[in-house]
Amino acid sequence: MPRAHAGPYTVRGITYPSQYAYRKALAAERELSVHAYRNVVRAERTFEKLGERGSSAYSRVLDALSYIRRGTSATEATRMAGTTTKTLFKYGGDAVAREGRRIVARPEDSLFRLMRVPTDSGVVETYVHGSREASLVSRYWNAVRYYDETGDFSGVAALAGKKVTVNGRKVKLPTDRRAVDRLILSGEADIPDIYLEAAA
């Protein structure tokens, strides 16, 4: 993937005078804003650096953070997730902190997650930035599964108009009943885990 560097900044034979102009051109190639492009590239580089072992460790840290936020102690959460306190701090970033002798998980974080995200054109695998958006995607899938099992559509309907970022663009979660029915009938809603590990 293209990386910004000390000038000159050349894209398709055109030299730009500044790093920002260079990044803007790179973003334009993906039809993204500079901000959206920066987040997409950050996510791609994060998972590229992890490799197979790092990706697995990172995934277990996300599981541990989820347990801690539900009230489980950090010691028990890391045991349940198959990780360690050292790894929790290594990959947890702004999500984890010490309060005296206790290890706590902040209510929200800005970590990237590789997830299966529903769109009007089907399910895509994309990088989700932050726990808030990841929770929204998780809430959506839970509502779809509940609708599939019970016929109660209220959980899905409550998410009408909610948006998530897919490949740098904000898209609405599909909440039209016919679109959700197609999602279910296609089997795309029948997935064991909405979270993915990056390929090595």
DSSP-assigned states of every residue in the chain: -----SSPEEETTEEESSHHHHHHHHHHHTT--HHHHHHHHHHHHHHHHHHHHHHHHHHHHHHHHHHHHTT--HHHHHHHHT--HHHHHHHHGGGEEEETTEEEE-S----EEEEEEEETTEEEEEEEESHHHHHHHHHHHHHHHHHHHH---HHHHTTTT-EEEETTEEEEPP--HHHHHHHHHTTTT--S-SEE----
Is the pLDDT score of 198 beyond 60?
A: no
What CA dihedral angle connects 111, 176, 145 and 172, to 10 degrees?
A: 0
Give me the chain's average pLDDT, please. Answer: 84
Q: Which of 23-37, 131-145, 172-186 has the lowest mean pLDDT?
A: 23-37
Q: Please tell me the predicted confidence (pLDDT) of residue 70.
A: 93
Each domain of the chain, given as residue ranges in start order, spans 48-105, 112-196
pTM here?
0.74
Q: Which of 16-20, 95-99, 195-199 has the lowest mean pLDDT?
A: 195-199
pLDDT digits (tens, 9 = 90+) for 43-94: 777 777 777 788 889 999 999 999 999 999 999 999 999 999 999 999 998 8
Provide the percentage of residues in the chain whose pLDDT is more than 70: 86
pLDDT digits (tens, 9 = 90+) for 160-175: 999 998 877 888 999 9
Token pair, residue 8, equals 């000159």
What CA dihedral angle connects 64, 65, 68 and 73, to 10 degrees?
A: 50
- What are residue 99's DSSP bridge partners? 102
Is the pLDDT score of 4 beyond 70?
A: no
Higher pLDDT, 131 or 46: 131
Q: Is the dihedral of CA 163, 166, 169, 174 positive or negative?
A: negative
